Amino acid sequence: MALPLLSFGAGAADGFAYLVLGGIFTANMTGNAVLATMYGRPDYPSILIGALTAIAAFAIALVVGFRTARAGHSGAARKALIVSAICHAAVVLMWWCSTRSGPVVLCLIAASAAAMAFQTVAAKRDGVDHGATTTYATGTLTDLLKDLVDGQVNWCSIRWLSLFALPAGAALSVAVARTWPDVTPLIPLIATVACIRLISPEAL
């Protein structure tokens, strides 16, 4: 259940970021690449800066994560998830304690994107099936259908659950934001901490 749970958290993180951090995604970097080119939108400079900040933070965190959580090392995925949880906790603290000015919003975007990157590292380490990821739904769907056509998996693959969990997390994030906005950044943190507790120290 680790992968669907993390997908749920990724959807919640994207929902939170898009709603309150200037229409930016922190898990979906493809979406940010598209947003960065939509120069006709109102407040485009802020959107561009936010999208580029998310992409840069995600990329840097991926490099750091893959270097420190080497495949085959004991507990590599769990270590990456712990760092992801720390980044999520930083988002919660900044959201609760800051003035949410422009620079703070960029820090929130960067921290959330880094959390998603370390989560992606965790999902790619320690023997996770090919095509199983928690932040890239298009790639997961493509690889899943390819494997189904090739007869490598069946229709009961857990990757289907991961695909449905991501929009479910986003929907919950939107619903919570309408009533208890300060609770919203807690959702991906809770999902990540719950996943850390579910998995063994050796594997995801």
Structure tokens given for 170: 């986003």
Please tell me the predicted confidence (pLDDT) of residue 133: 65
DSSP collapsed to 3 states, 35-101: HCCCCCCCCHHHHHHHHHHHHHHHHHHHHHHHHHCCCCCCCHHHHHHHHHHHHHHHHHHHHHHCCCC
Closest CA to 2 of 198, 155, 200: 198
Please tell me the predicted confidence (pLDDT) of residue 203: 45
How far is residue 141's CA from residue 188's CA, in Å, rounded to a whole number?
Answer: 22
DSSP structure class, residue 182: G
Please tell me the predicted confidence (pLDDT) of residue 56: 97
| Low pLDDT (below 50) residues in the chain | 127, 130-131, 202-204
How far is residue 118's CA from residue 80's CA, in Å, rounded to a whole number?
Answer: 5
How far is residue 179's CA from residue 133's CA, in Å, rounded to a whole number?
Answer: 30
